[in-house]
Amino acid sequence: MFTSERLRQQISFLKEIDNLKQILRQTVLVKDQRQENDAEHSWHLAMLVVVLSEYSNDSSIDLLRTVKMTLIHDIIEIDAGDTFCYSKHDKQEKTEREREAAHRIFCLLPEQQAQEYIDLWEEFETMNTPEAKFAAAVDRLQPLLLNFYSEGYAWRKHGVKRSQVIERNHHIADGSSELWRFAEALIDESVKRGFLLNG
Amino acid sequence: MFTSERLRQQISFLKEIDNLKQILRQTVLVKDQRQENDAEHSWHLAMLVVVLSEYSNDSSIDLLRTVKMTLIHDIIEIDAGDTFCYSKHDKQEKTEREREAAHRIFCLLPEQQAQEYIDLWEEFETMNTPEAKFAAAVDRLQPLLLNFYSEGYAWRKHGVKRSQVIERNHHIADGSSELWRFAEALIDESVKRGFLLNG
C-alpha cells in the first residue's frame, strides 16, 4: 500500500499521534467546562504564537520553528501522561519517562526527521532560545486564559493560590514582558472576582 | 486588565476560537471511535503539513503560510457548522454562511490581522496557489487515514461508495501526485478489507 518505506514510517507516526487527542488536561474549555485534551491545546498554542508573535521579547524569532515546537511539545504525553502543573512530583522520574516517550514516538519517523523533532522538543524543554522562550510563554498564557474565562474552574477545584500561579507562570516574562504584564493583571482580576485564592 | 486595545482584540479572538473544540466532524478517532472535533483535526493537519511537505508537487511552498492555512481553515465552522463531505447541500448557501462567519470571527482581530486571515482562508477555499493546493491535499488525506485506521467507521455508517471517495478526494493529486498514489492504494485496500463499498 505504501509507495516507499519512508512514507510508511511517516504515516505510522501520523497515525500514532492521533492518540494525543486522548490525553486530558486539568484545564477546561470556556463553553462547557469539558477537560481540554493535548491536541486541542497544541492547536490553540500554535494560534497564540501566530497571533501574538509581535509581543516576543526577541523581535526576530523564527515563527515556523516556534509553531512547530508548540505543535509537537506535548506528543511525549501520549506515553508519559499529563502532569498537573501545581502537583508535587518527582522531577527526575518525570524527565526520564518523557525522554523515553520522545524516543519511542519520534523514532517512528525516518531518522533525520526523528532527530529534528527530538531536538525541537529538547529545545522547548530547556528554554534557552528565543523561540523556546516564546513557545513556553504562550504554553503558560493559554491555560491562564482558559482558567480566567471558565471562572477559575480548575483553580477552584484544586484550591490553587495566587502565589502558586505567580511562581508557576512568571517565566512568561522571559518570552514576553508585555504578555507577562497582561498575565499579572489577569491574575489580580481573578483574585478580585473570586476565581483564585489570595495568598 | 488589557495593556492595549490591540491586545484586547487579539485576546477576544483567541477566546472565541476556543469554541472550535466544540465542532464535531463525522470522522472518528482511531482508538475509541469518538467523533473528532475541528481543533483536533486542525492540529493533525498542521502536523501532516510539516511531516509530509517533501511530497508537495511544488517543492518551494512557503511552509509557514501552509501551516497557518491549516490552523485557521475551519474556524468559520464555529458559526457555519461542519458539512459532511458526502452529503448533498446547497453550495451557494454554504458559501454565504461561511463568508459571514469569516467576517464575524476574524474581525474580532485588529484590522490588518483580520485581513491576513480572511485572505488566507479565501486562498485555501479557492485552491489556486501551491500552498493552498497542498493544504487542501492533506485536508483530504487526514480523514482518509482516520477512516482506514478506524476500519471505515464513518464510511460504513453513511454507506459511502468507492466512487464517491475517489470523486471527493482526487484533487489530492493537485497538491501531491505521490500522496494521491498512496491515497488510491489506501482506498483500494479499504474496499478489499470491506471498510468501503465497491461501486
- Cα–Cα nearest to A38, from A108, A132, A139, A127: A139
Query: Nearest 5°: CA angle at B165, between B163 and B170?
Result: 95
| C-alpha distance from B99 to closest chain A C-alpha (Å) | 20
pLDDT value of position A89: 67
Tens of pLDDT, residue by residue over B61-100, are 999 999 999 999 999 999 988 776 666 667 788 888 999 9
Is A199 part of a structural domain of the chain?
Answer: no
Assess contact for B72 and A46: CB atoms under 8 A. Answer: no
Torsional sign, CA B102, B108, B111, B114: negative
Tell me how many domains chain B contains.
Answer: 1
Question: Are B16 and B105 spatial neighbours (Cβ–Cβ below 8 Å)?
Answer: yes
Mutate to test the interface with B, among A18, A182, A184 (most CBs of B within 10 A): A18
pLDDT at A82: 76
With beta carbons under 8 A apart, name residues in chain A contacting B68.
50
- The helix (run of H) or strand (run of E) holding residue B27 is strand B24-28
Q: Which of A17, A29, A31 is closest, CB to CB, to B47?
A: A17
Structure confidence at residue A170 (pLDDT) = 96
Q: How many CB atoms lie within 10 A of CB B194?
A: 11
Domain residues for B152?
5-193
User: pTM for this one?
Assistant: 0.96
Of A47, A68, A149, which is closest to B17 when you measure between CB atoms?
A47
> Which residue from B15, B72, B186 is facing A1, i.e. has the nearest CB?
B186
The pLDDT of residue B31: 94
Long-range contacts formed by B99-103: CB under 8 A, 24+ apart: B101/B76, B101/B77, B102/B75, B102/B76
Tell me if A174 is assigned to some domain.
yes
Here the ipTM equals 0.95
Indicate which CATH number applies to the domain containing B177.
Answer: 1.10.3210.10
Averaged pLDDT of chain A: 95
B179 pLDDT above the threshold of 80: yes
Contact B64/A68, CB-based, under 8 Å?
A: no
Q: Does residue B44 belong to any structural domain of this protein?
A: yes
Regions of chain A with pLDDT less than 50: none
A142 to chain B: closest CA residue: B14
